[in-house]
Amino acid sequence: MSYEKVKSISIEENKVFINSHSNNDTAPYSNVEYPYFSKILQEKGLRELDISLLKEYESGNLQGGINKYTKALEVLYYVLKEEYKPFSWRNEGEKYEKAKVLRETQAFKDLLFKALNTKLPKERFIVFNSVNGYYVKKETSRHIFYTNNKDEAKIYKFKEQAQRTAEHIRGEVVLK
């Protein structure tokens, strides 16, 4: 399934432009107006545009970039996770069917708007491996790299993220 890899999103002259390219295309990024989103902006306003863009990120159709939508996704997954559970398209079986219906409600739009307006927690975490006495510096899909310098340690925004790594290496989560 393809998706758009987003570099940036901008609004110019009441039109929405997305600088992106398809994940299954080798063409370079291009800044293109998206009439669908422009129409939402013009007819329903910025709030509805933000909700629509976040919904596309949440469903996986738009990915990447460092913007308010990727930050709001983190808020959904880690801060508002209990409120988000009934709406998650990752539910299985009967729960998925219920989630499909719930995703079309005003309650889902309200949750997305809440995520857009919730600030990320200020606490940051690092992972210490007490077996070897090192901190996690970097993670890839196959390797974990370590450092003995606490200042070079990988910083996690959420305790759950750090906890996953700590469990994998039998380490401990430390407040930064």
For 9-64, give the DSSP string.
EEEETTEEEEEEEETT--SPPEEEE-HHHHHHHHHH-HHHHHHHHHHHHHHTSEE-
Q: Would you state the pLDDT for residue 90?
A: 86
Sign for the CA dihedral angle at 113, 118, 67, 88 comes to negative
Task: Check if the beta carbon of residue 37 is closer than 8 Å to that of residue 52.
Answer: yes
Instruction: Assign 131 a pLDDT band (cuts: 50, 70, 90).
Output: confident
- Full DSSP string of 81-115: HHHHGGG-TT--THHHHHHHHHTTSHHHHHHHHHH
Instruction: Assign 93 a pLDDT band (cuts: 50, 70, 90).
Output: confident
**Among residues of the chain, what percentage have pLDDT more than 70?**
100
Q: Is the pLDDT of residue 1 over 80?
A: no
Q: Is the pLDDT of residue 152 over 80?
A: yes
Task: Check if the beta carbon of residue 135 is closer than 8 Å to that of residue 129.
Answer: yes
CA atoms of 5 and 112, how far apart (whole Å): 21
Q: Calculate the CA 106 to chain-centre distance.
A: 21
Closest residue by Cα to residue 75 from 166, 154, 156, 157: 157
Task: Check if the beta carbon of residue 99 is closer than 8 Å to that of residue 107.
Answer: no
Q: Would you state the pLDDT for residue 40?
A: 97
Count Cα neighbours of 60 within 13 Å in the Cβ-side half-sphere: 6
Q: Give the H/E segment covering residue 135.
A: strand 134-139
What pLDDT digit, counting tens, does each position of 18-63 carry?
Answer: 999 999 988 899 999 999 999 999 999 999 999 999 999 999 999 9
Characterize the bridge pairing of strands 144-147 and 134-139. antiparallel
Q: Is the pLDDT of residue 92 over 90?
A: no
Q: Would you state the pLDDT for residue 70?
A: 95
Q: Would you state the pLDDT for residue 26?
A: 87
pTM for the model stands at: 0.85
- Mean pLDDT across the chain: 94
